[in-house]
Amino acid sequence: MSSAPRPVEAPTSAPTPRDNPRRWLGLVFIGLAQLMIVLDITVVNIALPSAQQDLGISAGDRQWVITAYTLAFGSLLLLGGRIADYTGRKRAFLIGLIGFACASALGGAATGFTLLLAARALQGAFAALLAPAALSLLSVSFTESRERAKAFGVYGAIAAGGSAIGLLLGGLLTEYLDWRWCLYVNVPIAVIATCGWSVLPADRRATARTRLDLPGALLATSGLVAVVYGCSKAESDGWDSPLVMALLTSGVCLLVGFALFEARSPRPLLPLRVITDRTRASAYLAVALAVIGMFGMFLFLTYYMQVVKDYSAVLTGVAFLPLTAGVLVSAGGIASRLLPRVPPRALVVPGLLLAAVGTGWLIPLEADTSYATGVLPAEIIVGLGMGLVMAPAMNYATHGVRPEDSGVASAMANTSQQIGASIGTALLNTIAIDASTDYLADRRHTPDVLREALVEGFSTAYSVATVILAAAALVIAVLMNAPRPAPVGEARRQPAPHMG
C-alpha cells in the first residue's frame, strides 16, 4: 500500500483556494451543516420518551426512531459520496441541506409513528448526501498545510463534540418547548447554512458523461444496511441471536463481494485506491475505533446521570459540556497548531491513549461517586483525547485523493464513524447488560441494588472500551506511517476548484 500519493499538477492559470479569503466564511457554513448532522444523532435521544408518549409508540418500536436515521445514514454514505462527485459537491451540499430541512419539518409535524419513522429515514438519506459533500468541500477549500490544519481542527471539534451539544440542546428544547422542536431546530440551521452558497467552491462540470456504478451501489448499500441493522438488533436480541448472526454474516459477505466487484469495475463506486492508501486507511480505522469509546461514554453516562444520579434532562446536557470544552481546546487549539509540524500519528496515538485513560477513569465509578471526582475528570480527558484524534484523522482521510474521488473519500470517513458507533454501542451495551444481569443473579432486587447493578454493567463496559482504545493506539502507531506534512506551498501543486 502506498503511503504518499503522487501529487497531480494543476493548471497554472487555475486560481487556488488561498486566493479567496471567503473560504473562511465558507468554513462557517460547512461547519453548521456538519453540526446539524451530528446533533441529530443525539438530540432526539432525550426527546424520545416524550415523543413515545405523545404519539403512542410502543416500547418495542421506539428504538426505530433512532435506528431509522442511523440505518439510512450509514448505509447510503458511499452512494451519497459518489453522487456528490458526479453531480458536483456544491450542488449536492445544497440539495442535502434543503432535503434535510424538509425531512426535519415533516418529522416535527408528525401525527403518528409511521410518519415520524419515514421522516427520520429521509433525514438519514439526505445526511448521507450532505456529510460527504461538506467534508469534500472543506478538503478542496483548504490545501495549504497550516490553514488546512486550522480548518480541520474546527471540523474535528464539531465531529467529536457535536453529540454532547445535542444532548444539552435536546434537554433544553424538550423541557422548555416541546419534543418536536428537536426536529424543527434543523430548519433554521439549514436555512443559515444555505446562505453560504455563494462562498463555497464552484462545481466543475464533468468533461465526459459518467454512469453510476449501480451494481456496486446495490452491494454496498445492502451490505451496510445488514451490518448496521444487525448491530442495532444485537442491542435487544443479543449477539448470539440467529437473526443478528444472519444479518452480520450476510453483510460481511455482501461487502466482500462489493470489494471484489469494485476491483474489476471500470467506473467503481469506491475506487480501491482510496482505501488501499496506508495513511487514509489508518485514518478511517482511527475514526471507527475512537468512536467506540466515545459513543459508549455518551450512552452509559446518560443513563448513569439520569437513572442513577436522578439528574434532569437539562442538567445531564449541562454535565456533558466539559467534554465538549475538552474537544474544542484539543482540536481547535492544540491539534490545529501541531498538525502542520508533526506526523499524524504523533497526535492520533496520544489522543487514543488519552481517551483510554478517560474511560479507564470511569471503571471504579460507584452509585454515590460525586460528579466532580468521577465524571468530570473523565470527560475532560476523553475530550482532549478525541480532539487530538478527530482533527488529524478527518484531515488525512481526504488528504491526497484525486479531485474526482474526494466525495467518496469523505463518505468513507463518515461511514467509518457510523459503523464504529453502531458496532461499539451494540457491543458495549450487550456487555453492560450481561454484567448487570450477573450482578443481580444472587441479590434481592431493591432500588439500591438495581442502581448498583447498572453501575456494575457500566464499569464492565468501560473496561472493554479502555482496552479497545489502548489497542487502537498500538495498531495506529504501527500502521499510520505518514511523514511530517509537506512545507507551505507544496499543496499548491494539487488541483483546486475556482472559488465561486
Give the span between the Cα atoms of 477 and 335, in whole angstroms: 17
Give the span between the Cα atoms of 296 and 302, in whole angstroms: 10
95-110 mean pLDDT = 92
Residue 498: other Cβ atoms inside 10 A: 14
Give the span between the Cα atoms of 71 and 162, in whole angstroms: 19
Residue 148 cell numbers, joined: 488546512
Residue 136 cell numbers, joined: 469534500
Three-class SS of residue 137? helix
Give the C-alpha distances (Å, rounded to integers) separating 197 from 57, 92, 141, 187, 291.
39, 11, 13, 16, 31
113-141 vs 63-87: helix axis angle to the nearest 10? Answer: 40
Residue 440 burial class via C-beta count within 10 angstroms: exposed 0-12, middle 13-18, buried 19 and up: middle
Residue with cell 479507564: 360
Give the C-alpha distances (Å, rounded to integers) separating 477 from 149, 279, 285, 355, 482.
20, 11, 12, 15, 11
Give the span between the Cα atoms of 7 and 401, in whole angstroms: 9
Give the span between the Cα atoms of 500 and 496, in whole angstroms: 12
pLDDT per residue as tens digits for the range 292-311: 877 777 778 878 887 888 88
Question: In 3D, which of 264, 306, 243, 279 has the Cα closest to residue 483?
Answer: 279
56: left (phi over 0), alpha (psi -120 to 50) or beta: left
Give the span between the Cα atoms of 179 and 160, in whole angstroms: 24
What is the per-residue pLDDT for 210?
60
pLDDT per residue as tens digits for the range 456-469: 998 999 999 999 99
Give the span between the Cα atoms of 433 and 102, in whole angstroms: 38
Beta bridge partners of 499: 201
**Percent of the chain, pLDDT > 90?**
17
pLDDT per residue as tens digits for the range 321-345: 888 888 888 887 888 788 888 888 8
Alpha helices (H) in 195-312, listed in sequence order: 214-237, 242-264, 272-276, 278-303
What is the per-residue pLDDT for 20?
54
Give the span between the Cα atoms of 489 and 441, in whole angstroms: 65
Residue with cell 462489493: 258
- Check if the beta carbon of residue 329 is closer than 8 Å to that of residue 387: yes
Residue 259 cell numbers, joined: 470489494
Give the span between the Cα atoms of 321 and 302, in whole angstroms: 13
pLDDT per residue as tens digits for the range 109-166: 988 888 998 999 999 899 989 888 888 788 777 777 777 777 777 777 776 667 777 7
**Residues 6 or more apart in contact with residue 51 via CB below 8 angstroms:** 44, 57, 65, 116, 179, 180
Residues across the chain: 500
Give the span between the Cα atoms of 88 and 325, in whole angstroms: 35
pLDDT score of 81 more than 90: no
Eight-state DSSP code of residue 239? T
Question: In 3D, which of 31, 47, 39 has the Cα closest to residue 166?
Answer: 39
pLDDT per residue as tens digits for the range 232-285: 777 677 778 899 899 989 989 998 998 888 888 877 878 888 888 888 888 888
Question: In 3D, which of 140, 266, 273, 274 has the Cα closest to residue 212?
Answer: 266
Residue 499 burial class via C-beta count within 10 angstroms: exposed 0-12, middle 13-18, buried 19 and up: buried
pLDDT per residue as tens digits for the range 358-411: 999 999 988 889 999 999 999 999 989 988 998 888 788 877 777 777 777 878
What is the per-residue pLDDT for 14?
41
Buried/exposed code over 255-281 (b: 16+ C-beta within 10 A; e: otherwise): bebbbebbeebeebbbbebbbebebbb
